[in-house]
Structure formats: C-alpha cells, structure tokens
Amino acid sequence: MTKSVNSRPSKSKPLVDESRASTSPSKWLTHPPSFLPDHQLIQQEEIGNQLAVNLQFAQEPVLLKGMEGSGKRCLVQQYIQRYQAQFQHIIWINCSHNIGEDIVRNEILLQHLGLQFASDVPLRARFRIMMRELRLLEGSKLMVLANFNKKYADLRLLKLLPKGEDWQVLITSRHELPNCKMMEMPLMNEADASQLFYQHYQAPLSAADVGKIVNELEYHPLTISIAARYAAHQHLNTQTLLDELEQIIQDLAPVNFSISKRVYYKTFQRAFAFIAGFLPEEEKELTVKALQTLAVLPPVAFPFHQVQELLDLSKDHTREVMENLEDAGLLLHQKKQDTFQMHPLINMIVVHRQRPKVEDLKQAIFYFGQQLKKNDPRRVSLLNSSFSLLFNLYQKDVSVANLQHQVALGYQELGVLDKASKLLGLALETLEEKKDKRQSAWRNNLALIEQQAGNAQTAMSLLLKTMRADVEQYGAMHPLTTSTQSNLALVYRDLKDYKKSTTLLERVYEVDRQQLPANHEKCAINSLNLATLYLDQGETEKVMPLLETILAEPTSSLLFCNTARLVALCYAQKGEAAQAIYWMQEVLQKNKARLGRLHPQVATDESNLAYFYQLKGDNNTAHDLLANALKSDILHFGKQSLVTASRYLQIAYLYVQMDNWDKAKESLLYCYKIRKLLLGEDAEETLAVKELLF
C-alpha cells in the first residue's frame, strides 16, 4: 500500500505512487509555467530526492536558495513532473514584486476560488481571505512561489501561507527567508555539468577538456549552456574557449550589481560576452535591438504575435530574430504554445549592459498594459516589473517623473493611496531638483492624496510650502495662489482648526470674487466650501445665502448636486424633513440620469435620502432605499467589504427604530463578521459592533 503525499511515508516505501500518474491529473489553479523540454533537463537525483523528503516532512515552507541561473526552476520542474499525480491542486506564482500583490491580483486564482474583492479591502485582508479559502480545498496541494524577492516582499505574509499535512509550499529565492526550512541549491557536479555542455556542443571533445571548461565556468548551469552554444556556433576548440574566458575576465569593465559573491560577478561578465559574441554580424543590430526590447519585460512567457507587434517587424523577420536568440540560449521557446520567455539573469545583464531608452520602456509598458487581458496575471507582473525597472534605471528623469505622476493619479482613483503617495513623492523630488514650474501643482496633488489618506499634518506641510512658493512666484492675489490657500483651508477644517480655516477661506472667497466673473466655477466652489465650513460650526444663517447664489446659476450638474445635498442637510438640521427630502430627491434624480441607477454615488444619495425619511417617520420608504443601496454596494464592492458592512450597520439601526429586533440582530451580525474578517477581532470598529450585538 502506497501512501499519498499528504501523509508521512515509511522509510521502506516510495514517496510517490508511479502507477497513479496517468489516472490522477493535476488541477492547475494558476497558469502553468513555461518548462524546458524533457530532453534538455539534467536529472539531478540526489538534490531532487532531498527536495522531495524536505517537502514531505517540513512543517513550514521549504526554501530552495540559490544564485540566478543555478537550476532552481529546472529542479522544481523535475519535482512537479515526477509527483504531480499526487496533487489535486497546484499553484505557481511568479514573484515579480510584492508576494501579496502577486497572489491577490492573480485573476485566474481568484476565479478558481470564487472570490472578488472590493477596492477598499486592504491587501493583507485579501491575502488572509485567499489563504483561508485555499486551506478549505480538499486533497493534496502544492504551492510554488518562484523567484521570491526579499527586497520587495512583506515577510509577515509568509506566516499566513497554508500549512498542514495536505499542503506542500516551495519557495525559490536568492535570499535567506524567515519561517522557512532552507536548503541550498548546489551547483552541478562535473558529470552533470559536462552532460549539459554536451547537449549544446556535439563536436568531439575529451572528458578532460570538457571538465576544464565547466570547472572554469564554476559549474553554473546557465553560463555553461550559453558557453556551449557560443562555442558550437563559433567552432571553438577547448583551448580557444578557455582563452576567451580568461580574456573576458581580464578585459570587461566591472558592473555594479551590489552583489557580494565573486562568482556572481564572473558569471555576469561571461554571460554577457557570450550574448554579444554569438550574434552573426549581419543580423547583430536587429537582434540586439530585439534583445533590448524584450529585456524590459518581466521574465514570463509572451505569445509570438504580441512580441511581433511590440518589435514592429514583419512575421518572417521576427521569427528569424527570435530563432537567433533561442539558438544563443537567451530565450526559452515553447513550440506548442509558440511563446517566448527570457531568463531573469539575462534580463539583468542586458538591461545593465545595453541600457534601454525611456521611450522604449514606456512603449513596452503601455503596449502590454493594453494588449494583455485584465485577467492575465502576466499583466500585473509586467506592470510591476517594468515600472520598477524604469524608475530604478532613470531616477531623476523628467520623462519618468511624468509617468510616475500619471500612474500615481491612477492609483488615487483606485483608492491605493499609499502607492499614489510614494510615486508622486518620487516624481516631485525630480521636479524640485530640475526646478520645474509644475512642482507647485504636483505638490497640491500630493497634498490631496495625503488628505484623503487621513494624513492631514503631512498635507498641511506640503500646502504651506506650495503657498510660500506661489506667493513668491505669482503673488498673493493670483488664482493659483488662492487655489492652494483654499486647499489649505480644507485641511485646517480636517484638523478642527475652524478659526484658521474660516479666516483663510473667507479671504480666498473675497479675492476670487474681485478677480473672477461672478458665475466662474471657482467662485461657486469657494461658496460651497465656505458654506460647508459654516454648517460645521452651526452658523446656519450664513449657509443658505451662499448656496442660493450657486443654485441660481449652477455651472455644472455635479456642482448642483453637491450644493443641493448641502441644502438638504441644512433643512434636516432645522427639522424640516419635507424640504430636506425634496432637495435630496432632486440630487438623486439628477445623479441617476447622469451616472446610472446602480452607481455607488447613487447608493450614497439613497442612503442620505433614507435618513431624511427616517426623520419624517416614514421607515418603510427608508428601508426600501437602503435595500437598493445595499444591492449596489454588493454589486460594486462585494459581500465582504467595509462599505457593505457600514450599510448593514445603517440598516440595523433602522430595524431598531422599527422595533424589529431579530432583523436588527441579523444585520449587525453581518456587519460584525465582515469587520472581524477585514479589520481583525480587536479593531475598534469591530468591538463597537460586538458591543451592540452581544
């Protein structure tokens, strides 16, 4: 009787039941990786068996640590091919950036788990939910996290990876990692290294000669493969190849990779020399250009037609170039799928030796961002890798700063404010160094992001700096200066410093009225902001005249809705529920026509209108409005989102007002479970609902 992988075998029994290989196909929960053809694999039995035993018995993830090009991926390929029949589910994640993002943004995996997250669900919460769902899967599971980069990863997430006898988690990386059982990936022995050399160099050489070559190459698999192809193409004999290797080490200028190990430096030098030396002279320019273009992409598989479109070559020329690179050992070609993939080490060498142009990087980023489908995990990998490469290579470049600014505003729209702030901060540093005139406007944008993120003090510091610069450059009365002052006043409002906020906003209001037409939108926005500030302080007698001025001639539908919403709130505070309902219905009607009946803003308006109906005592109408809002929340944000949780809480309060305690408890329970899941059991918001519930 043979035991399956999720139980511990006895010493006398094999780790796998080979007879099951054809009857128990694996189910991939992610895109399968591109593997080498079987005939190119060098079977390393000893290290392969050690890996199998470690995975079988480890109580934590197994870390396969080794340098770039040392054969980690090939060893994992051998393991999967040998043992895959034992697994009901296999997950392969290429760690292009932060492991949390690589997993939670893998649309294929999300589809298999039946998950869809709202934009307000934090990354760590998404990760925890996905790990919970993975643990619920039946049968034996294997998870591979390939090329784990300690530099970008949140190492705390390693503790959340699934565990148990039915789980095997394997991580490949160049770095040591905590909470893992580590095993070093050894370089090849002389016999295996020689076998790899002979795969690409068929001319007769003695075992002693090949031994000298692989020894000089320090048994590094990728370098041996490229060297053998180079030697075969150039018809080099043993001594000539050894002489060239020695010359490479002596002549090539050092490259700063911030890597301490001597063998890394030597490997980089040699591998690049083989890249340059292999290419036929008549095809060299075109092939090198293709190599540079492909090197800006992450080392994942791309279909031929996408590569052709990116290179902007004819089909025949593209095929010729790709075959040259494949012959040189620089690309892995999956013939069945007709996809091409570059080794990470080759990416690194080409990027630092043949530095790509900013425009080429931008072209690659935007082209593949548009071409790849949103559910293709390579799209996320591409964007993360290419942006990182772009920003690392071209720091303090205005062209890159422009791109950082665009991406930051995109993140702001998605609500990913930490990334938006970081990117825009980097872009702003470049503009300040270059003394670019746009720095004030960008600093204003950064302040708005910080304000949205709840960092009012940071926003205030940014705006004060901008205001001083604006006064110096444009004068105290210039519209750009008053715009900054208006933003600063709103930050003071967030800080509850109403005196400073009111003084500053009243000054802006008067200055703009003197300089701009009465119906100018900026004047209307100033009036709206000032009215909001007065309402916060209970000065309702000052509010309505300002709002009536806007409503007399609104410059846009959006401005009308924002103003009418404030009018409704004024009436509600005075206890005039009927008037509040009238104005809120006006807002709801316009926003439904403008945005559609299921838009999140419409749901917010329905919620506000429900509150006014509650004031009037019409709880049934309020209930219907909140039910519609809840449907919209679930549609846009999902059942497990903080927005949905807040809506359940609002509905619970309504049920209390209706004396329907069973329904109130049911809604409170929904809210509690969501907050407990996303925020944690001890979060203040969770505890507040728990107190109401229990």
Section 302-326 average pLDDT: 84
What per-residue confidence (pLDDT) applies to 320? 86
Section 311-324 average pLDDT: 86
What per-residue confidence (pLDDT) applies to 504? 93
Percent of the chain with pLDDT over 90: 27
DSSP-assigned beta bridge partners for residue 522: none
Helix (H) or strand (E) holding 64: strand 62-65
Give the residue with greater pLDDT, 45 vs 34. Answer: 45
Q: What is the mean pLDDT of the chain?
A: 80
Q: Per-residue b/e over 114-124, b at no fewer than 16 CB within 10 Å?
A: eeebbeebebb
CA dist., res. 346 & res. 460, Å (int): 46
Q: Tens of pLDDT along 321-351? A: 888 888 777 787 877 778 888 877 677 667 6
- Other C-beta atoms closer than 10 Å to the C-beta of 462 total 27
pLDDT tops 50 at residue 4: no
Residues 325, 289 contacting (CB under 8 angstroms): no
Q: Tens of pLDDT along 564-587? A: 999 999 999 889 999 999 999 999
DSSP 157: G
Burial class from Cβ neighbours inside 10 Å (0-12, 13-18, 19+) for residue 404 reads: buried
Instruction: Give the CA distances from residue 429 to residues 147, 296, 463, 493, 505, in Å, rounded to whole numbers and listed in that order.
Output: 31, 24, 15, 28, 29
pLDDT tops 90 at residue 167: yes
What per-residue confidence (pLDDT) applies to 437? 85
What per-residue confidence (pLDDT) applies to 506? 93
Section 78-101 average pLDDT: 86
Burial class from Cβ neighbours inside 10 Å (0-12, 13-18, 19+) for residue 95 reads: buried
Lowest mean pLDDT among 206-210, 360-364, 497-501, 511-515: 360-364
pLDDT tops 60 at residue 16: no
Q: Tens of pLDDT along 99-110? A: 788 888 888 898
Strands 62-65 and 181-184: parallel
Phi-psi region for residue 33, left (φ > 0), alpha (ψ -120 to 50) or beta? beta
Residue reference for tokens 């001083």: 468
Lowest mean pLDDT among 316-320, 366-370, 544-548, 630-634: 366-370
List strand residue ranges (DSSP E) for 286-367, in order.
302-303, 331-334, 339-342
**Residues contacting 379, CB < 8 A, separation 6+:** 368, 369, 372, 373
pLDDT tops 80 at residue 258: no
- Other C-beta atoms closer than 10 Å to the C-beta of 66 total 18
Q: Tens of pLDDT along 188-197? A: 888 888 988 8
Section 359-366 average pLDDT: 62
What per-residue confidence (pLDDT) applies to 24? 37
What per-residue confidence (pLDDT) applies to 395? 63
Residues 362, 376 contacting (CB under 8 angstroms): no
DSSP 531: H
